[in-house]
């Protein structure tokens, strides 16, 4: 896959799947492939929780997930772990407020994608100054996928960021489903990021397709 065109960041953010090997009840690479067939536009490997992969098994899993994403021309990002992202030549990383600062990471990642979690206008402005390519705003709604999530702010967070002048590409995350995704987009997000709405769906391809259909 050629180097990701950052000018197309908003398009890539449309339907963003975040997932690790423990976020689904069956073979995660099969779930990922079905999700890609259903129209996912960006993927983040977020390997967290009990029984998650580490070391060489995580490295191999990341390589396989990257290969699969690239077969579908979808950029592949790694959550938190800059070293792993560099080792598998990922297209970028996603960093939280407690992770390595984006400004430090930029020198090592060159022009790859750097996403930063934002919970306020101040954090969004800092993210822009640090050279972030997009912000992940959340949680939009209650989530069971992140035990240490910040308090729910709802789509109102995205609305406040836009009203305050934040123009960076933004994706909403946290508890997003087909039933509430429109609220996130109407608030001004460029896209939605989901774990369980796709990863735990009985039919991930159809779940992704349903989400895609409301993103048009
Ligand atoms: C797109 C996106 N937005 C936010 C997050 C959360 O990142 P962080 O706050 O660092 O929490 P962890 O995911 O690391 O637990 C994300 N991963 N992706
Ligand atoms: C990683 C993350 N960051 C904020 S909420 C969240 C979890 C999103 O998972 P789900 O889509 O299952 O609520
Ligand atoms: Mg993090």
Domain count, the chain: 1
160 φ/ψ angles, rounded to the nearest 5 degrees = -65, -40
| pLDDT 10s digits, 61-70 | 999 999 999 9
Q: How confident is the model at residue 3 (pLDDT cuts 50, 70, 90)?
A: confident
Contact 85, 43 (CB under 8 A): no
The two structure tokens encoding residue 208: 């992704």
State mean pLDDT over 17-41. Answer: 97
pLDDT at 216 over 90: no
Range of the domain at 161: 6-215
Is residue 85 assigned to a domain?
yes
Task: Check residue 6 and give its pLDDT.
Answer: 87
Please check whether residue 204 lies inside any domain of the structure.
yes
Active site residues: 46, 117, 146
pTM: 0.98
Question: Is the C-beta atom of 172 inside 6 A of ligand 2?
Answer: no
**Chain-centre distance for alpha carbon 54:** 20
Q: What average pLDDT does the structure give for the chain?
A: 97
The CATH number for 182's domain is: 3.20.20.70
Question: Over the range 129-155, which residues count as b (16 or more CB within 10 Å of their CB) and which as e?
Answer: ebebbbbbbbbbbebebbeeeeeebbb
Q: Is the CB of 176 under 6 A from ligand 2?
A: yes
**Domain-located, residue 1:** no
152 three-class SS: coil
Which of 75, 79, 99, 100, when mutated, tests ligand 1's pocket best, judged by the most ligand atoms within 8 Å of its CB? 79
Write the ipTM: 0.99
Which DSSP symbol is given to 202? S
Residue 199 placed within a domain: yes
What does the pLDDT read at residue 171? 98
């Amino acid at each position: 896959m050629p180097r990701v065109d950052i000018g197309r960041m908003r398009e890539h953010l449309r339907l963003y799947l975040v997932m690790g090997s423990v976020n689904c009840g069956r073979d995660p690479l099969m779930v990922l492939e079905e999700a890609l067939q259903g129209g996912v536009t960006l993927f983040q490997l977020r390997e967290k929780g009990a029984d998650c992969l580490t070391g060489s098994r995580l490295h191999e899993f990341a390589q396989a997930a990257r290969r699969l994403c690239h077969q579908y021309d979808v950029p592949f990002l790694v959550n938190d772990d800059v070293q792993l992202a560099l080792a598998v030549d990922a297209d970028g990383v996603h960093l939280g407020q407690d992770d390595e600062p984006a400004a430090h990471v930029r020198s090592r990642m060159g022009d790859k994608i750097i996403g930063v979690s934002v919970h306020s206008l101040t954090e969004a402005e800092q993210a822009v100054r640090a050279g972030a390519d997009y912000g992940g705003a959340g949680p939009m709604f209650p989530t069971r996928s992140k035990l240490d999530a910040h308090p729910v702010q709802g789509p109102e967070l995205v609305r406040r960021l836009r009203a305050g002048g934040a123009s960076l590409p933004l994706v909403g995350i946290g508890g997003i489903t087909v039933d509430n995704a429109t609220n996130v987009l109407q608030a001004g997000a460029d896209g939605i990021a989901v774990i369980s709405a796709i990863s735990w769906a009985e039919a991930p391809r159809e779940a992704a397709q349903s989400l895609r259909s409301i993103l048009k």
